[in-house]
Structure 1
């Protein structure tokens, strides 16, 4: 079993070495002169004409709605609503929305922790008054039985 495993390891090592050498020869073959195509064309190819107008990569802009304007203000991208330009990039809007999402998430975490602490204090107060769910349910059921007995007696 050990001999078979060592043979597999040696074979894998040899295969990796062969693969490395083969990939280096393929890279060198790709870098050779590609102007020779079956020996027919020796004239250099003409490069395509450059466009007359230079192409500028422009970011698409978006006219923000009122809510998006408030989002930009709340996220801290702008100080006043007058500072917000007519059009803003989608990346800026996404960044503002993400900041607002994070702030809302933090607010929800704080409110959840505050609610838990409040419930602990309310539970301790109820324990001091000797109130429990069991005693409240027993009282409610006793009250319902009394009402049912009164209705039964009135109807007879």
Structure 2
């Protein structure tokens, strides 16, 4: 019962507004004619305007294989060309990161096995470090006690 009241109060006006706009649009039969484009824009209507590549974009264009040298790169390049070069470099960077991660994992496995062969683990290292700290604290206390006993 409450849901019906909510539905009538919120959905009803929205539905009427949608139906009214649809009905009004269907009644409009006038076809709008657009003015023809000037001759110089008709041939380039499908292209995006040129984009002046930065130095980094020029490097990406060369590294992605689109151009061989910096001199071959025109002053204005389409955005799609630069976007494709950036995407290729992004994918290559991801491949490099995947490779470095795998090499790092193999190195950590090797170092862990080497440490296990020498019986070096984090627990023993932590206990040695804490023993060294305790010894340092005891030496400091002895120095302070010796310093306090000296007459001034």
Change (3 A) 1:52 1:144: closer
Residue number in structure 1 paired with 2:115: 126
Q: Answer 1 or 2: higher relative contact order, Cα 8 Å, separation at least 6.
A: 2
- Normalization by structure 1: what TM-score? 0.66
Residue number in structure 2 paired with 1:111: 100
Q: What is the CA distance between 1:87 and its match in structure 2?
A: 0.6
Residue number in structure 2 paired with 1:82: 71
> Which of these residues, 28, 38, 55, is aligned with residue 66 of structure 1?
55
> Which of these residues, 128, 148, 151, is aligned with residue 137 of structure 2?
148
Greater C-alpha radius of gyration = 1
CA RMSD after TM alignment: 2.4
Change (3 A) 1:91 1:137: same
Distance 2:79 2:111 in 1: 47
Change (3 A) 1:48 1:110: closer
The CA deviation string for residues 65-114 of structure 1, in whole angstroms up to 9 with x for no partner, is: 11110011111111111111111000111110000000000000000000
Match of 2:68, SS? coil
- Which consecutive unaligned segments of at least 5 residues does structure 1 have? 1-29, 36-44
Q: What is the CA distance between 1:48 and its match in structure 2?
A: 6.0
Say which structure is richer in helix: 2
Change (3 A) 1:49 1:65: closer
Match of 2:138, SS? helix
The CA deviation string for residues 107-148 of structure 1, in whole angstroms up to 9 with x for no partner, is: 000000000000000011111111000000000000000000
- Which consecutive unaligned segments of at least 5 residues does structure 2 have? 1-25, 146-152
Change (3 A) 1:81 1:153: same
